Amino acid sequence: MNKLKQVEFLKRDAKRSKKQAATMVEYLLVISLVSVFAIGALIAMQGHMKGVFTGISDKLQPVNQVLQQNN
């Protein structure tokens, strides 16, 4: 009788381990998909981001000139 309980426990433990492994695989797949989309978005936005920073620096040049004149 005791061995039967051990076998049942091992079966339940194996099922639990399989479920945990499947959950971990799902999490890893989701993380990898999110990373791929994030990298793709960054690559697509690369040219736009350069334009944004250039626009900011163009707007700040008059401020820098005023600050340099005051010093």
Q: Using alpha carbons, select from 25, 47, 63, 36 the residue that is nearest to residue 17.
A: 25
Which pLDDT does position 10 carry in this prediction? 87
Which pLDDT does position 49 carry in this prediction? 66
- The string of DSSP letters for 15-69 reads HHHHHHHHHHHHHHHHHHHHHHHHHHHHHHHHHHHHHHHHHHHHHHHHHHHHHHH
* Residues of the domain holding 54: 1-70
Give the model confidence (pLDDT) of 50-71 as tens digits: 666 677 777 777 766 777 777 6
Q: What is the pTM (predicted TM-score) of this model?
A: 0.53
Residue partners of 8: CB distance under 8 A and separation at least 6? none
Distance CA 49, CA 67 (A): 27
The total domain count for the chain is 1
